[in-house]
Amino acid sequence: MKKGLFLCLTVFAAAMLAVGCSSAPDTPPQDPNSPPWLNDFPPEDAIWGIGIAKQSSEQMAITMAETRARAGIARQLNARIEDMITDYTRDAGTVASQAALSLQEVVTRQVTSLQLNGTKPLQRWKAPDGTYWFLMSYSKADAQKVLAELINNTVDSDAARFAEFKADEALRLLDAQLAGNTKPEQVDAD
């Protein structure tokens, strides 16, 4: 009886060991033309931009990928979106025979203009197909400084323009007053 129990426990332990050592379920293979860090998230204190380029010149591809990564960061910090939607519908004909014309158009443009100082390249990767990938990082502390300067410059510019407007208005009022007081006064000859 002890031998049977020992044999059962040994087989059970071997089965559990085999199950515990088996490999994890197969993960889908990664696309060989994308970098391993593509789906990573930036740390809490940074903003990432990813740029890709495939050009006829390797140096141009590297430069374009790097530039596009910086542009990705800039778009996250400062983007002006212009959007236009056109919707046109026209019905013509009689009740028995109608024809309809419908046209829809959507035009969107995103404009970004921001000077980034302090961006840091983290990774550069060349895919088997020749595409360059660039991962650029920008600290959130630097981003906050840039945005604060941008806001201050906007506020200062608006305040300066308003002050200049008020000064011009006051000078025009003064000129009008002086012009009014320089007329000769009429004196009664009585």
Mean pLDDT for 87-104 is 79
Higher pLDDT, 126 or 111: 126
Which contiguous run of DSSP H or E holds residue 84? strand 80-93
Question: What Rg value do the Cα atoms of the chain yield, rounded?
Answer: 36
**Over 60: is that where the pLDDT of 109 sits?**
yes
What predicted TM-score, i.e. pTM, was given to this entire model? 0.51
**Over 70: is that where the pLDDT of 183 sits?**
no
116-151 pLDDT, tens digit per residue, is: 778 899 999 999 999 999 999 998 888 888 777 767
20-43 pLDDT, tens digit per residue, is: 454 545 556 678 889 999 889 999
76-88 pLDDT, tens digit per residue, is: 877 666 777 888 7
**Over 70: is that where the pLDDT of 187 sits?**
no
Q: How far is CA 23 from the centre of its chain?
A: 40
Q: Quick one: pLDDT at residue 60? A: 93
d(CA 71, CA 77): 10
Which backbone phi and psi does 189 adopt, to 5 degrees?
-90, 25
Q: Quick one: pLDDT at residue 58? A: 93
Alpha helical stretches, state H, the chain: 2-21, 58-77, 140-181
Question: By three-state DSSP, how is residue 183 classified?
Answer: coil
